[in-house]
Amino acid sequence: MLNSLHLFLFMNKTGFYKKGAEAELSEVLNNGERALSKKRLSKGYRNKKLDDKIRKERTRSEARLLREASLVVNTPKIQKVDENETEIVMEFIGGVPLKEIIEKKPFLCIEAGACIKKIHDIGIIHGDLTTSNIIFIDKPNSEEFKERVKSRGNLFFVDFGLGFFSKKLEDRATDLVVFKKTFNATHSSLKNGWDLVMRGYAPGKELSERMNAIEKRARYH
């Protein structure tokens, strides 16, 4: 799956562009303003009718997840959804992936954990939690952006393409275990990094035990 905000690392004369296995991301103009288009790609190996159905459903689902998540954490605002074109156009937020600055700002681990807890509490499973899919905004470029950062912090969550709605303990625990695996692999030099994430999330005993059980299952399979 494409790590969305890697897009911000690529610039050419026509703007940002990145193509992955599931979608292509490109900079566009929407009502004269800089925006980001995410368009799901057709799969040639699938029956066309089924492929169209799947891409439309995933486009609709991701748009809904973004809207719901935006009630509790920062996300890019959706400007347009075109299910027939399987495209979501959203605001271009800029910033840098948390992956690039977290080792210089380890306190952001706590903020990230707290934000993930907020998402889980309203029944959203991100499905692809990585520090590439969390964006740090250091210098908001508008008064409206400043207010969002002031009220909810500097982190923005993106790429809900693998997400879904669930309040099941197993799903929340799995989301965290997957994040833990990628986090520790990517930031092995960050001392107590994952402990800081968990400090922000503050999981209860039942969730912690389920995470441990999932990790044990993974080791023996």
The answer, yes or no, to whether residue 195 has pLDDT greater than 80, is: yes
Which of residues 91, 109, 130 is at a domain's end?
Answer: 91
CA dihedral 30, 159, 61, 203 (to 10 degrees): -140
Average pLDDT over residues 98-108: 96
Look at 82-91, 143-152, 193-202 and tell me which has the smallest mean pLDDT.
143-152
Type and span of the H or E element at 148: helix 143-152
Residues recognised as catalytic: 128
According to the model, what pLDDT value does residue 220 have? 56
Type and span of the H or E element at 66: helix 48-69
CATH number at residue 9: 3.30.200.20
Categorize the per-residue pLDDT at 102 as very low, low, confident or very high, splitting at 50, 70 and 90. very high
* pLDDT tens-digit series, residues 167-190: 999 999 999 999 999 999 999 999
Instruction: Kindly state the tokens that stand for 202.
Output: 């503050």
Rounded Cα distance between 195 and 109, Å, is 9
According to the model, what pLDDT value does residue 109 have? 98
What is the total count of domains within the chain?
Answer: 2
C-alpha 1, offset from chain centre:
11
Q: Are residues 109 and 22 part of one domain? A: no
CB 61 within 8 A of CB 80: no
Which of residues 43, 63, 91 is at a domain's end?
Answer: 91
